[in-house]
């Protein structure tokens, strides 16, 4: 009898628990992706791709100073809606038009908050929505992803919150990623045994710190955040020491939406590269008129150490050298030169040039040659001299490169916005170096043309094609990326002896050229010395012809960690780029994306027969193609291929 009573009690308790939990399902417009949101003692959700379970009972919550949101939630109402629009991009670095189509589920809770979920054909996202009076202190945010089995993780481990987001990728099983291992910054990529790829990042980051992830120690990851800095001490000419921190991660308005947490999910690796999730989830452009924003290529001085040859002046940070850079840029139709560290009297002095440099004359000479100047600054100098934007507009420069932020706490996130907003007031564009990843500010202020936040060519021998092959699927998949490509002194990795005065880049010549098509940036650098570009005229003519704004992107073929081939269109002209890693590839390209029935001319650059050992070996070809063409291309190890079809 006691056994029967006990079993009945168990059944009643189980039934009560089931009744207490309510599940809301949200499917993507095509029905392939589904999110099941469970409201019980907390808010959790599971994500499915077809029949594949991608996330199992992932949890979310937000701890405020006066209590937890998402613990013992009480649902007030659930609302469903649809977003279906086409957005015209003000400054089209990827696509001129973006289709934004998703199904929406908004769960409004008692206590003045809600959670909004969105399901797209290529991913899912959620955010907290708060409706409280005054300011709130956010102590912590619960973001925990639980994987149903061991996934392969591609992450960038960092030892602390002070980071320039320039660490190489680590490839590890989620089951082997330990709780005491180093954390990682966004974006991260997971591969499931069923073949789904899951790209994870955030969007619409505003007045809030960037998220980092650590292992749960139980086949999952959880969020960690830098706290709000309260006091600072001196730490040289380009940084500050945080001497006091708050016990909260953000103090912010109690009536606001919080950053989106999103996953791009697909079995087709091409969709990772093509995704527009950050743009779709971020707030619209705040500039009344963005027509003055002119992306373009830049001749850059720092990487090549101002080394020019065959001239009758002493090369360096001086007027004659920069006029040489301007002459080179003018010859190839490059609209900008950057004057990097050393142009000013000191790194703390943004208004006075060094004695070797007649800056007004350089700016004047550039205008005569249709080449504008961009000036480098540390963020600390900008912060201490915020009037410089107004002054630089009077000088007639085009933009600023702001460097060494190396933080992503709430204070620094707000610095990014203050700087780019003030720059916009004075018709200056911004390129952030020493930066975190794109997370939506570039949509609100399209004068923000690029971010570094990448292990790029600047890192010399550390910049390996075996690491860079992940960039189109990860870092480059969330926004513009200042990788600074273009080494003419190309080398296979084992031969890279790059030094400060003899810069080299790993990967073949065709690989370096293809990066201008593969990587997206509104200020695409020509990192090498003008002398070498002038000596390699036919390569330079191709590189300098590659646009930085585009009408359309199509990924033709891709495999994470192995290769990517993509095509970008501007007007009726297509540029195609392909790169690989330390494994050679033989690929067949289907050119059916070409419109019309006529033939077109294709000019291509490919790895030479000896490029696998002598990386500068390349071959230029001219041929006729049409939409029926099936094109065979061969990439040597660390090789590339690029073409223009017109």
Using DSSP's 3-state secondary structure scheme, residue 311 falls into: coil
Report the C-alpha gap between 487 and 395 in whole angstroms: 32
Which residue reads 């809301």 in tokens?
A: 24
Which residue reads 């974006």 in tokens?
A: 187
134 — alpha (psi -120 to 50), left (phi > 0) or beta? left
CB 638, CB 493: distance < 8 Å: yes
Point out the catalytic residue in the list 202, 458, 528, 607: 458
Which residue reads 């959620």 in tokens?
A: 126
HSE, side-chain direction, 13 A CA sphere, residue 218: 7
Point out the catalytic residue in the list 403, 406, 431, 442: 403
Q: Is the dihedral of CA 71, 72, 77, 79 positive or negative?
A: positive
Active site residue 403: yes
Least Cα distance to 428 among 381, 469, 374, 496 occurs for 374
207 — alpha (psi -120 to 50), left (phi > 0) or beta? left
Report the C-alpha gap between 622 and 602 in whole angstroms: 6
Outline where 246-358 has alpha helix (H). 269-274, 277-281, 319-331
Active site residue 383: no
Give the count of beta carbons closer than 10 Å to the beta carbon of residue 149. 12
Integer CA distances (angstroms), 90 to 97, 290, 294, 551, in order: 9, 7, 11, 11
Active-site residue list: 403, 458
């Amino acid at each position: 009898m006691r056994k029967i009573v006990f079993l009945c009690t168990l059944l009643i308790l189980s039934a009560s628990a089931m009744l207490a939990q309510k599940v809301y399902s949200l499917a993507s417009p095509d029905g392939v992706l589904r999110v099941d949101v469970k409201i019980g003692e907390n808010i959790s959700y599971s994500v499915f791709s077809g029949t594949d379970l991608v996330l199992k009972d992932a949890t979310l919550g937000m701890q405020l100073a006066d209590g937890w949101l998402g613990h013992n939630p009480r649902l007030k109402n659930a609302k469903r809606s649809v977003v279906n629009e086409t957005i015209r991009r003000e400054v089209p670095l990827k696509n001129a038009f973006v289709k934004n189509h998703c199904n929406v589920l908004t769960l409004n809770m008692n206590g003045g908050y809600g959670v909004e979920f969105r399901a797209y054909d290529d991913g899912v996202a959620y955010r907290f929505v708060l409706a409280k009076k005054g300011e709130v202190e956010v102590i912590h945010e619960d973001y925990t992803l639980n994987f149903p089995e061991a996934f392969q993780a591609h992450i960038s481990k960092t030892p602390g919150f002070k980071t320039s987001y320039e660490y190489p990728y680590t490839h590890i099983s989620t089951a082997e990623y330990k709780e005491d291992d180093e954390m990682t910054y966004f974006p991260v990529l997971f591969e499931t045994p069923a073949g789904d790829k899951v790209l994870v990042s955030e969007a619409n980051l505003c007045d809030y710190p960037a998220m980092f992830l650590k292992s749960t120690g139980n086949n999952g990851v959880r969020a960690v955040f830098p706290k709000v800095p309260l006091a600072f001490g001196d730490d040289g000419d380009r940084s500050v020491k945080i001497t006091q921190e708050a016990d909260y991660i953000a103090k912010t308005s109690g009536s606001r939406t919080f950053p989106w947490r999103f996953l791009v999910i697909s079995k087709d690796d091409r969709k990772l590269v093509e995704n527009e999730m950050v743009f779709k989830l971020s707030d619209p452009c705040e500039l009344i008129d963005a027509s003055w924003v002119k992306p373009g290529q830049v001749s850059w001085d720092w990487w090549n150490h101002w080394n020019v040859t065959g001239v009758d002046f002493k090369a360096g940070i001086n007027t004659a050298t920069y006029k040489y850079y301007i002459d080179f840029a003018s010859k190839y139709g490059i609209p900008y030169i950057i004057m990097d560290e050393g142009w000013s009297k000191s790194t703390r002095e943004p208004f006075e040039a060094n004695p070797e440099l007649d800056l007004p004359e350089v700016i004047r000479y550039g205008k005569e040659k249709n080449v504008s100047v961009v000036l480098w600054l540390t963020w600390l100098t900008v912060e201490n001299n915020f009037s410089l934007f107004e002054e630089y507009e009077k000088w007639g420069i085009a933009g600023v490169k702001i460097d060494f932020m190396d933080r992503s706490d709430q204070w620094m996130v707000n610095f990014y916005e203050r700087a780019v907003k003030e720059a916009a007031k004075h018709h200056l564009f911004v390129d952030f170096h020493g930066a975190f990843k794109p997370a939506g500010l570039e949509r609100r202020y399209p004068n923000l043309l690029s971010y570094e936040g990448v292990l790029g060519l600047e890192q010399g021998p550390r910049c390996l094609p075996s690491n860079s092959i992940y960039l189109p699927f990860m870092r480059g998949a969330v926004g513009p990326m200042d990788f600074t490509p273009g080494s003419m002194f190309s080398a296979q990795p084992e031969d890279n002896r790059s030094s400060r005065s003899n810069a080299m880049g790993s990967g073949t010549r065709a690989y370096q050229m293809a990066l201008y098509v593969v990587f997206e940036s509104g200020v695409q650098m020509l990192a090498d010395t003008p002398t070498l570009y002038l000596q390699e005229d036919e390569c330079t003519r191709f590189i300098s012809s590659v646009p930085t704004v585009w009408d359309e992107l199509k990924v033709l073929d891709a495999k994470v960690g192995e290769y990517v081939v993509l095509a970008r269109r501007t007007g009726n002209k297509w540029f195609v780029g392909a790169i690989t890693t330390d494994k050679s590839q033989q690929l067949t390209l289907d050119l059916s994306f070409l419109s019309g029935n006529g033939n077109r001319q294709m000019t291509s650059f490919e790895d030479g027969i000896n490029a696998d050992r002598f990386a500068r070996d390349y071959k230029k070809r001219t041929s006729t193609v049409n939409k029926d063409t099936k094109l065979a291309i061969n990439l040597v190890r660390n090789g590339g291929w690029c073409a223009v079809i017109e």
